[in-house]
Chain A
């Protein structure tokens, strides 16, 4: 099985930077994904990490440390539209190609 932990809620100010952490335990790590989900909508893919290090994609960056079972999603220059739930998901190669999700972090961006 897997344990995937992330904070339940976070609040940040428009224009600021926020870091959302995710820790996991898995036996056959095969990649970590971050998704964004607005209320009432489907999750949308943000980033993928399989090797240690930082992946940057515009205002969003994701970091992975496999030895620590740790990842974070960094959001820069926050905008009001970034208010959403952010989901960390781990793919375990020992149990096929399905993703196992954390419960998500609800981010509120305030003016």
Chain B
């Protein structure tokens, strides 16, 4: 059973540019959550999608957006990049119910903004 796949693994962008990250969840999982991880702040929740609908959103500016497709794959977009957006972006998939099933994380996309 394939795990959670995130692409690309590494990305370098310039301030002001925009970026799109992709996440393919475990087959059959309908929930995808996105997190930003930085050394100072730890893992911070961005948003969660279930069946193509954003079900929950964290406390990030509107420059951060996402979507989910009918096959449960998800993308997140960051516009007008800032230096502070440099981070590891992780997605996690889950069947979708509030169960004991642990959320499975992908290996992440390391974004560097220069």
Contacts and interface: CB of A to CB of B under 8 A. Distances in A.
Physical interaction between A and B: yes
A42 B105 contact: yes
Interface string A81-109: 00000010101010111111111100000
A30 interface: yes
A33 interface: yes
A97 B42 contact: no
Instruction: Give the contact-size bracket for chain B.
Output: 20 to 34
B103 interface: yes
Contacts of B45: 98-101
B90 interface: yes
B108 A98 contact: no
Given A44-B105, A98-B48, A98-B56, A31 B41 contact: no
Interface stretch (B14-22, B63-71, B74-82, B94-102): B94-102
Nearest to A45: B102
Instruction: Give the contact-size bracket for chain A.
Output: 20 to 34
Interface string A39-50: 001111100101
B106 interface: yes
11 contacts: A33-B103, A35-B102, A41-B107, A42-B4, A42-B90, A44-B105, A93-B98, A97-B31, A98-B45, A102-B42, A103-B42
Interface of B: 4, 31, 33, 35, 41-45, 47-48, 50, 55-56, 58, 90, 92, 94, 96-98, 100, 102-108
Given A48-B100, A99-B33, 17 more contacts: A33-B102, A41-B107, A42-B4, A42-B105, A43-B43, A43-B105, A45-B103, A45-B104, A91-B98, A97-B48, A97-B55, A98-B48, A99-B92, A103-B41, A103-B42, A104-B42, A104-B43
